[in-house]
Amino acid sequence: MPFNIRMGVPGMEAAWNDLVARARCGTLDREKTKSYRKLTKALGYLREDPRHNSLASHEIDVLSRKCGFKVFQSYLENRTAASGRLFSTYGPEKGDITILGVEPHPEGEKRGAYERIKLASMPLRKT
């Protein structure tokens, strides 16, 4: 069963909607187009199997403690030191995965780099 991918609010939802709109209009520059393709590929893997080998998903304890729920980091690409990272969590509904942020790889994680990451909030449950 594929997961439903949701965007965190307000930051990720607004950024994703803007990115998709610009991609459809063909107004993304070369770097943004590459990033968009990597992100959509990673979201496809995440939707089908959050434990897909290409994602190398793992929990980030610092962010989990900060948010009060498990936060996972997944790779947007492998074998690239400064490649992008996708931060996500399960929920708010069963079968949902919420994207909380997309950031470059936090450098110097021993110096509190993960604590400086800004994440979106989880959307509200449907009533």
Q: pLDDT (tens digit, 9 = 90+) per residue, 57-106?
A: 999 999 999 999 999 999 998 777 667 899 999 999 999 999 999 988 76
Helix axes 11-25, 30-48, angle to 10 degrees: 120
pLDDT of residue 107: 66
pLDDT class for 115, splitting at 50, 70, 90? confident
pLDDT of residue 108: 54
DSSP code for 26: T
Smallest CA-to-CA distance from 55 within 66, 64, 63, 44 is with 44
Give the pTM.
Answer: 0.89
